[in-house]
Amino acid sequence: MKKIAVVLSGSGVFDGSEIHESVITLLALDKAGASVQCFAPNIEQCHVVNHLTGEVAENETRNVLVESARIARGNIKDIADAQASDFDAVIFPGGFGAAKNLSDFAFKGSECHIQKDVEIFAKEAVKIGLPLGFMCIAPAMIPRIYGDGAKLTIGTDVETAANINAMGGVHVACPTTEFVIDKKLRVVSTPAYMSANSISEAAIGIEKLVNEVLKLIP
């Protein structure tokens, strides 16, 4: 059975993991017969957003690992304890948490950094040759993980693509229902809710990404 690590970034599109993307990913992996372990960094969220109003909730704090446990139904571990060698592949669902908690891309753009525990795990996975999948805004981390020249997509958003290219990535415009694969680096990305107009549209690209990542496993 293939073992897949899924890295979450909280719970909720505006300050954590995009819930639809995360659940579709977990469902697609389960339907494919893969074994899944979720991870998240044990850190405070950058901030908390009221998802009803869209406004930042002042004086409120939440923990990324604790919030991610909502999506994982409690079956989640601190990414600081993760060993890439225990897995066959890694997938990063999107949501603004990928750009606020797993990295600071939302605030620093091309000058961003990846959260240290996430970076250590992701780079170790690359070092040992695991295929990785990224969706929505999460592909913005790819240049920091792989270095210059990695092909990826976040869809068609011009400003975000420009920041990614400035980091050394090679952005490829892509419709929601498709994906981009860098065959040399064995990394797959799809736009998901960066451009999706519905959950069913997002699901098409996400399911294709999951299946492509699984096919890359020897």
How many CB atoms lie under 10 A from the CB of residue 139? 34
CA angle 198, 144, 196 (to 5 degrees): 5
Three-state DSSP state, 198: coil
Distance between terminal CA atoms of the chain?
Answer: 12
Which amino acid appears at position 105 of this protein? F
Active site residue 136: yes
**Structure-block tokens of residue 21:** 């993307």
CA angle 129, 134, 139 (to 5 degrees): 105
Rounded Cα gap, residues 132 and 107, in angstroms: 24
Rounded Cα gap, residues 76 and 149, in angstroms: 33
- Taking the CA atoms of 208, 118, 15 and 148 in sequence, report the sign of the dihedral they define: negative
Of 38, 112, 136, 174, the catalytic one is 136
Task: Give the residue numbers marked as catalytic.
Answer: 136
